[in-house]
Amino acid sequence: MRNVIDTSNLLLCAVFSALGITIPIIFHMLGLGSVFLPMFIPLAIGAFFLDVKNALIIALVTPLASALLTGMPPLNPPIAFIVAAELAVFCTIISFLNAKTKLPVLAVLLIAIIAERTVQILLFLNIMPLFGVSAAAWSAYEILKVMPGIILMSVIVPIMVPVARKIIEKRSLRLFEHRNDDELGNIR
């Protein structure tokens, strides 16, 4: 069997990954930093339009590419790897739930946020003690620190997913070539 490259999904991966690198730069230039989860917003929106495999790819590649290109998130301590793991869970869950359920965007997003924050805590419990940092204190700090970002994401993503869908449809990109037409209406 011959493998076919899905160029529309590849293009969407590139666009959302580029936004995942560019938007944090803008946030940091404005002094807003990681508090608002600027990398998570475009990748969350992108995950609603990508299959699970491609959502996982952008989740893993974007923070590592950003770390190499901009130094954010840092490689030492290994925050870039932690963010990659968090985003892998986050984007995969969004893509999977969007494809397999009829849940609204906000519900899918909140489930993904809870799962991602759980993974973050588990990672911190194992990694932060290696650097002499209290994992419990760091986890509590991180959860409280990003509350503005979670609120911002909960407002922006449900608004932007339908907007992005219209833009993508207008540009005639064939979304979800691996799915049938009935599943395309699943994005609410």
User: Could you tell me the residue ranges of all domains in the chain?
Assistant: 7-167
Indicate if the pLDDT at residue 22 is higher than 90: yes
> Greater confidence, 175 or 123?
123
pLDDT of 49 reads 94
pLDDT at 26: 95
What pLDDT score was predicted for residue 131? Answer: 80
- For residues 80-95, give the mean pLDDT: 95
Lowest mean pLDDT among 117-121, 134-138, 141-145: 134-138
Q: Topology of domain 7-167, per CATH?
A: Arp2/3 complex 21 kDa subunit ARPC3 (1.10.1760)
Give pLDDT, residue 181. 45
ω into 104 cis (within 30 of 0): no
pTM for this structure?
Answer: 0.85
Mean pLDDT of 137-147: 89
pLDDT at 179 over 90: no
For range 31-57, the mean pLDDT: 94
Task: Tell me what the mean pLDDT of segment 143-163 comes to.
Answer: 96
Residue 172 banded pLDDT, cuts 50, 70, 90: low
* Cα–Cα separations (whole angstroms), residue 65 to 21, 45, 48, 71, 121: 8, 19, 21, 9, 23
Average confidence (pLDDT) over 98-116: 97
- Between the two ends of the chain, the Cα-to-Cα distance in Å is 35
